[in-house]
Amino acid sequence: MDSALIFLFVPLVLVAALLSNIGIWSPRRLWLKLSALVAAVSFIPLGYTSLSELMSRSKPVALEWLRRELPEATLLGANMQENQAIYLWLKVPEISEPRAYTLPWNRKLAEQLQRAQREAKKNRNGVRVRRPFDGTDDPRERMFYAAPQQALPPKPAPDGASLNDAPPRRL
């Protein structure tokens, strides 16, 4: 069982147990007590099934409250369904596994994403997403852009000394 699912499922079971306990010990008729117990017992597998089903779906970016202020993420993949949604596969810096998100369809964003993907393919680098969960639509700032090329590492001098330490040559 996935750890995220456990953290969601355990409180669900505790709430179901608390509600069934209240239902059982309340001064009500027996059939009401039994129906409260049956409802709680059926709630547990339904809750588990719905939680596990939700984990396989992409999350709308508007519902990402915990990482709302994230400045940037790496785009691993995208799928655009015209007039429906833009599906993103993002690598968020503080999380080890990638996450799936959904943006509402926006033609301008889709064109921006395609330009960034073409530029990234030409430069052989990835696509970055600026403020993916912010929700503001600032026309002055692009959301998708090709990541800048990384600088090459400095070359060491052949004898181990720095190239700047060598005495100047005279002509």
Work out whether strand 99-104 and strand 59-60 pair parallel, antiparallel, or are unpaired. parallel
- pLDDT tens for each residue of 27-81: 888 888 888 888 888 888 888 777 777 777 888 888 888 888 888 999 999 999 9
C-alpha to C-alpha distances, 90 to 12, 58, 75, 150, 171, nearest whole angstrom: 28, 11, 5, 20, 57
3 state SS of 92: coil
| Residue 87 reports pLDDT greater than 80 | yes
Residue 98: partners with Cβ closer than 8 Å, 6 or more residues away: 76, 89, 90, 91, 92
Length of the chain: 171
- pLDDT tens for each residue of 141-155: 778 888 887 777 777
Angle between the N-to-C axes of helices 3-25 and 30-55, in degrees from 0 to 180, rounded to the nearest 10: 170
Which alpha helices (DSSP H) does the chain contain, by range? 3-25, 30-55, 107-123
